[in-house]
Copies of this chain bind each other. A is one copy, B any other.
Amino acid sequence: MLVEDDLNLGFLLVEFLELKGFSVKLYRDGQTAFTGFQNGHFDFCILDVMLPKMDGFTLAKKIKILNGQIPVIFLTARSLKEDKMKGYEIGVDDYITKPFDEDELLYKIHAILNRSKLPKFSEESIFQIGLFRFDFQNQQLEMDGQKRRLTERESSLLKMLCLNKNNVIRREQILTAIWGDNDYFAGRSLDVFISKLRKYFSPDPSISIENVPKVGFILQDNS
């Protein structure tokens, strides 16, 4: 989550971070950012201090109440000591003083994620699939706050599909990777698991697991 009222800077940052493989959502004021946070799933927050409607401190405080674990970095033009102290008391992880260097921001993000107890999305353990969120580490599939815990096989399979989202994976590849065997029975077992995953995704029609006859499967995400 990026909250920045200066839209020039905002879009520049979004572009930069997306280039680096992050998925970024930009908000331009504290109020909408907070409602956005309540509805969306964020792993990291970068907040400007000076914001319309609700300032960065208040926003951070409210976010920390909802999720005390989430890392927060402040962007600030001022480098006043009182400001920094205030932020650290809330539990902010770091400050960056404008004008700042993009690479430095990137390193700070990585440094914090490396220390974070949260599963790191940088190592691709969390996947967004349409309305769903798949947490591989915790074998958890979530949608609208509805959580479902997957079995080991289910999540291994889903991970392989996610890593090849919108691309075909060969049956053989899946079978040797997960079943360690590609005989008839393993193949039928795979079909059973595909069927199960389809059922889990049925609430979202923009997600489908399609079969490519005699070749393999594709996880299609048209959201």
A6-14, A18-26, A182-190, A209-217: which one contacts chain B? A209-217
Given A81-B101, A212-B149, the answer on whether A94 and B111 have CB atoms closer than 8 Å is yes
Interface check A71, CB cutoff 8 A: yes
A45-53, A85-93, A199-207: which one contacts chain B? A85-93
**Contact with A215, one of B107, B139, B213 (Cβ below 8 angstroms):** B139
A31-39, A55-63, A115-123: which one contacts chain B? A115-123
**What separation, in Å, do the CA atoms of A114 and B71 have in the docked complex?**
11
**What separation, in Å, do the CA atoms of A135 and B110 have in the docked complex?**
29
Q: CB-nearest residue of chain B relative to A116?
A: B115
Interface check A146, CB cutoff 8 A: no
Interface check A168, CB cutoff 8 A: yes
Q: How many of chain A's residues touch chain B, expressed as a range?
A: 35 or more
Q: Is the CB of B103 within 8 A of A137?
A: no
**Contact with A218, one of B85, B117, B138, B214 (Cβ below 8 angstroms):** B138
- Residues in B whose Cβ lies below 8 Å from that of A195: none
Given A81-B104, A139-B168, 17 more A-B residue pairs with CB atoms under 8 Å apart are: A71-B115, A85-B104, A88-B108, A91-B111, A94-B111, A115-B115, A115-B116, A117-B163, A117-B164, A137-B168, A138-B167, A139-B212, A139-B215, A151-B213, A152-B212, A152-B213, A152-B214
25 inter-chain pairs at a CB distance below 8 angstroms, sorted by A residue, are A81-B103, A81-B104, A84-B104, A84-B107, A85-B103, A85-B107, A88-B104, A88-B107, A88-B108, A88-B110, A89-B107, A93-B111, A93-B115, A94-B111, A115-B116, A117-B117, A117-B163, A117-B164, A119-B167, A137-B167, A137-B168, A139-B168, A149-B210, A152-B212, A152-B214
